[in-house]
Amino acid sequence: MKPSMSVLGTGRMGSALARALLQAGYRTTVWNRTREKAEPLTALGATLAPTVRQAIDASEIVIVNVSDYAATAALLRANDVAPGLAGKLIVELTSGTPEGARETSGWAATHGAQYIDGAILATPDFIGTDAGTILLSGALEPFTANETVFRALGGNVQHIGTEPGRANALDSALLALMWGALFGGLHAIAVCRAEDIDVGELGRQWKATAPVVEGLVADLIKRTGAGRFASDAETLSSISPHYGAFQHLKDLMEAGSIDRTVVDGYDAIFSRAIASGHLHDDFAALSQFMGKA
Ligand code: NAP
């Protein structure tokens, strides 16, 4: 028997989640603060609930996908809603912090609900496809019991741990990698403009060098995990040549009046490590200067 599903929040992502469930044949009830955004889903077979409480009463599993955890709390903790959650499985797919997930998980438990927290690492067009990635954390049993439901949302749905904050934490870690690349892209574009290089040329050369960067990031993660900070025969590059090349970038940015807010931050990290005697250590040694070891 397929469980019945409710989706609270049918913005861009929530609508994609509801569409994937309907496509996979789940009886799906939807609710959205702005009713008009949920209405198109009825043409696909969804039932539109007039209130949050009615949406919760309609199903065994309640997926929440609103803008933040404050919005989730405003919906679920309303006096007429909270008592209806006993015995339900809440799946919180709103983006948030690990602490937000832990707090919401604890709150759900005191109201007799099971809770799984999730982070969606995909845009709406990936939802319901084999390439859709959603990380889930929290109690294992409701995940295992409903794995088929989760698979309907994306081919790469993974339960990554029982600690409810884990999915949000890993989401932020992966977003840090993404923004590193995107802000790096902004710097690269600014350098090309300052030196009259067509950005199309940058795009072509990035395509060729991206695998090198990917390899460096993978090596950094591997070496940091193993605590191999001293240079050794497998070191790809120590801090010293990195810092030398970094000076050229800084000089070029200075000459081209390019914003150095971000690279000054890089410089601060390099400088702390070098001042502590790590100039000839592996680049991974910098990870010791980022906070919690
Ligand atoms: P969106 O299109 O702006 O939709 C936001 C949704 O939240 C709407 O349904 C909105 O209702 C609802 N909402 C906001 N505040 C509310 C409140 N106080 N009470 C009730 N409902 C409220 O955003 P989205 O792209 O779908 O994103 C939704 C979540 O998915 C976010 O946490 C986002 O970080 C996450 N996510 C999105 C993507 C993506 O590519 N879009 C990727 C990964 C994760 P109204 O329609 O009434 O305004």
Phi-psi group of 210: left, alpha or beta (phi > 0 → left; psi -120 to 50 → alpha; rest → beta): alpha
Q: What is the mean pLDDT of residues 234-245?
A: 96
Query: What pLDDT, on the 0 to 100 scale, is given for residue 1?
Result: 85
Instruction: Let me know: does 7 contact 65? Beta carbons within 8 Å.
Output: yes
11 CA to centre of ligand 1 in angstroms: 5
Would you place residue 118 in the very low, low, confident or very high pLDDT band (cuts 50, 70, 90)? very high
Average pLDDT of the residues in 3-12: 98
Mean pLDDT of the chain: 97
Nearest residue by C-alpha to atom 7 in ligand 1: 66
pTM of the model: 0.92
Whether the CB of 193 sits within 6 Å of ligand 1: no
Query: Of all residues in the chain, what percent carry a pLDDT higher than 90?
Result: 99
Q: What confidence score (pLDDT) does residue 171 get?
A: 97
Ligand 1 pocket, 75 CB below 6 A?
Answer: yes
Query: Tens digits of per-residue pLDDT, 69-89?
Result: 999 999 999 999 999 999 999
Task: Reply yes or no on whether the pLDDT at 46 is more than 90.
Answer: yes
Whether ligand 1 lies within 6 angstroms of the CB of 123 is answered as: yes
Rounded CA separation 245/100 (Å): 41
**pLDDT average, residue stretch 125-154:** 97
Q: What's the CA-to-centroid distance between 184 and ligand 1, angstroms?
A: 28
Quick: pLDDT tens for 190-233: 999 999 999 999 999 999 999 999 999 999 999 999 999 999 99
Quick one: which atom of ligand 1 is closest to the CA of 70? 18
Interval 93-98 mean pLDDT: 98
| CB 56 near ligand 1, within 6 Å | no
Please report how many Cα atoms fall inside a 13 Å half-sphere around the Cα of residue 187, on the Cβ side.
Answer: 18
Residue 293 reports pLDDT greater than 70: no
The contacts of residue 103 (CB under 8 Å, 6+ apart) are 69
Q: Is the CB–ligand 1 distance for residue 15 below 6 Å?
A: no
Task: Write down the pLDDT at residue 292.
Answer: 60
Q: How far is CA 130 from the centre of its chain?
A: 18
Q: Helix H segments across 11-134?
A: 12-23, 35-38, 52-58, 69-76, 98-110
Nearest in space to 172 (alpha carbons), one of 163, 183, 162, 180: 180
By three-state DSSP, how is residue 227 classified?
coil
